[in-house]
Structure 1
Amino acid sequence: LYPTLRVRQVAPDADMRALKRLSAAAMRYTPWVAIDPLGGKDSAGFSGLLGGLGGDAGLWLDVSGCAHLFGGEDALLADLIGRFEGHGFAARAGVAATPGAAWALARFAETTSYILAPGTEREALGPLPVAALRIGDRAAEALERVGLRRVDDLLKMPRGPLAKRFGRAVLERLDQALGKTGEPISPRRESAIIHARRVFAEPIGRTGDIEAALAGLLGDVAAGLETAGLGARRLDLNLYQVDNSAARVRIGSSRPVRDPGHLARLFRDKMEDFDAGFGVEVMALAAVETARLALRQGELANELASGLAGDKGETVTADATARLVDRLAGRLGPGNVTRLSPQASHVPERASREIPVLTTKKDRAENGETHPETQDLWPNVWQGPPRRGPRPIQLLAQPMPIEVMAPVPDGPPVLFRWRRRQHRVAAAEGPERIAPEWWQRQGCLPPGATTLEHGTRDYYRVEDEGGKRYWLFREGLYRPDRPPRWYLHGFFT
């Protein structure tokens, strides 16, 4: 045992985003879903050691009046746990008439799922430890020091002395679990979708009339987005026709946007072949996915567009690039225009991946983007120097073995052979050491490497006598009984 061992969450923000996605998925069972405030990074006074048999993250689901839609509580619980396990999460669940009892059973019951009949809370909770009452570590430890280890022990004690010594919170949690005191749950609420609608006195069918109506809808939605400080990533236009048919046109943007002119051009490209038939009676526009978008000075933006802002004209370039990407994706298909997405990895071949420019918030989170809600795909402000050495213009998908001659085993090369051709090194810079990602299952061990020592890489930027520059690395730490292995990983010129 290591009593001084300290445990910290690796990525609490990523955990919370994953928990929010799980809460959204759980809304298929009930609209009343909430994240347990005592779990994850929001916990206060809960170390996790007293958190029961499961993890520290949890969800509340109020399934009152919903269970019969899934064949009863047993079937609902089995389906819920099965879906979570199918996504790689170990889940425990409890169903009870009170939130406190359900929380206790989900975390402290001997089985992974437990359904408690109403009115039997006292008998079911009695054998559980006092930590099952959500009283926190300090209170639970204080109760255990005086021999009050089980909920039954508390039920046998006079309430007055118990409250005087350990505080009212212990009795409040006990009453909530037994149903003597109500406990409201604040459900997770989706942000309201910003939308606009036009109903016409007479059906319209001319292209000019439809474009004029669309311009009005875009203006209304843009105003709503500006008020909320948001930009649209995806918009849906629904056109309801006289013959009871409906058409939907969806556009996407590579960055949050609320410029009606740009959005109108994207819709125009998508609606070139639209047939209004006998006419359109109703048009409805909705921003189905949004992200935060900072306010900009209109006059200053015009100055930048006119080239009057000097070296800060890169803002216009970024905006123009994003508009071009949006139109190309609309014309060629969203899957045919791609970009590089940064990944949370120091290993060069895994530091980025190619993904479509038009993706949903869920896709961006699954792709490992650090802040998928706010990330600007085409940043217009230099973010400062990187925390790493220069990277080659061309990176090989997989490092290629080479033969190297070095004056000292752990020094830079003076000569290397690649594809039967010898290159004499005129200059070398390095090393830049990249250690294996020991926290990952796969790490960054090359084929044949089995230990962290083997997976360490020392990178060198070298230039041969012909002026060509290469990115080489030595795999593994120096050992007298094991010659180092060298690889070519990229080209600078």
Structure 2
Amino acid sequence: MSKRYLAIWFPYLLTDQMAVKQEELLGTAYALIAQERNKQMIVNVSSEANKQGLRANMPLADARITLPSLQTFKFQPQKEQKLLNAMAEWFIRFTPQVALNPPDGLFLDITGCTAWKSEEQHIEEIKSHFTGKYHIKLGIADTLGAAWAIAHYTKGQIAKPNEQLQHLLNLPAKALRLEEATLQRLAKLGFHSIDSFIHIAPSTLRRRFGEKINLKIGQALGHKPEAFEAITEPNPYEERLHCIEPIQTAKGIEIAIESLLENLCNRLQKDDVGVRNATLSAFRLDGKLQQISIGTNQPSIHIKHLFKLFELKIKQIEPDLGIELFIMGITKVEELPKQQETFWQVQNQTDLGEIAELLDRISIKAGKNAIRRYLPQEHHWPENSIKAVTDLKEQPETEWQTQKPRPTVLLNQPEPIQVSAPIPDYPPMTFTYKNEVHRIAKADGPERIEQEWWLSEGKHRDYYYVEDEKGQRYWLFRSGHYDIKVAAQWFIHGFFA
């Protein structure tokens, strides 16, 4: 299949955007200006200003002579780039392959995208969306160069496959995107249109005009390659679903999700990989994008389970006037386990997959970081004695230490507290944590934990298990020995259930 490209040109990109935001500018002549050395130059003009003879790169003083009533605004280049990026993201609804053509154009690789709509229908849909908002010109051809030329120098045409030459012949030489110096040399020799020199031998053109003219001709005709740099990396696991009628109901969204998941999971199964992260993008009629994402604890191609995860988030999608396109992309995949394993020695040897799916559903409801798994490590220091893991199949390298009580919630780092203790080596009578005073009703300790001298230097810790008058229990410690000359440092390190 030959490549097909759609070139899009917004001749008044920035000025049209201003008119969209400020309706009083519609139908008026205005320009964007910038300071260049010691004079002000026009960078962009509105369509009305263009009709009255104003052009980009014209000194503002000359423009004022032609049109004294011209309104001017400061040119902000960062806005132009930001707007073009936003336009590119909007066009992803037509194809995942969208490239920037600064400062005011885009390229779309629409190869294979005409199974749902014809090229003519795509053009009409794009034009209807921008009518009354942005001036837009379009061209379709087998090559980027030909599509660009058609968009910029015709009223908008579609060059059928392998017919780009016929569409280029009557266009001006500048339609090949040649350098200004080359265009001037061509004009001096009377070569004003492409048909006047395109059939000249390449060696002759190279001697007269340099190698670049042959490169541009070759790229326009498809004889030489031209780089296409999409704004997003192509996703090998992505499915699209165009809607015959706009979808406005939750049931319609569910049907779309099931259809997309079925196609994706069949492809994933053939490659022996499963879903770890997936995103559903819903493109509304008003141009706005709605997205929901899911994640799993282990690779999965279980369609019902993945659907349930998306189903829990469907309420976050607001269809408004309706959704016209759904795109589901698998953003992270991992190899499927070769055999089903078990973890956590429970009596009925619960299947790992079932536990993982349960955790996935809880994570969707409670939050991504609501569920964590920890394993023990060979360390005395409490904060180093456990490690967080994401793999449900990972087994502990040592046994959990259960000889002495440990808090169910351990702070990543101990936090300082203020205490009142009756005599040295006694637990405190009260302690203040986050501006709240806790009166101790019961206490046990101390349990001394020495610093791991082979890893770092520091004082030992004397830990106490305390319970306040409200029945809440805490794990406190004093750092180092009691010293009458220096106030003892106390910390809170955890909370018991």
Q: Give me the TM-score of the superposition, normalised by structure 1.
A: 0.37
The structure with the largest strand share of the pair is 2
Q: Give me the TM-score of the superposition, normalised by structure 2.
A: 0.37
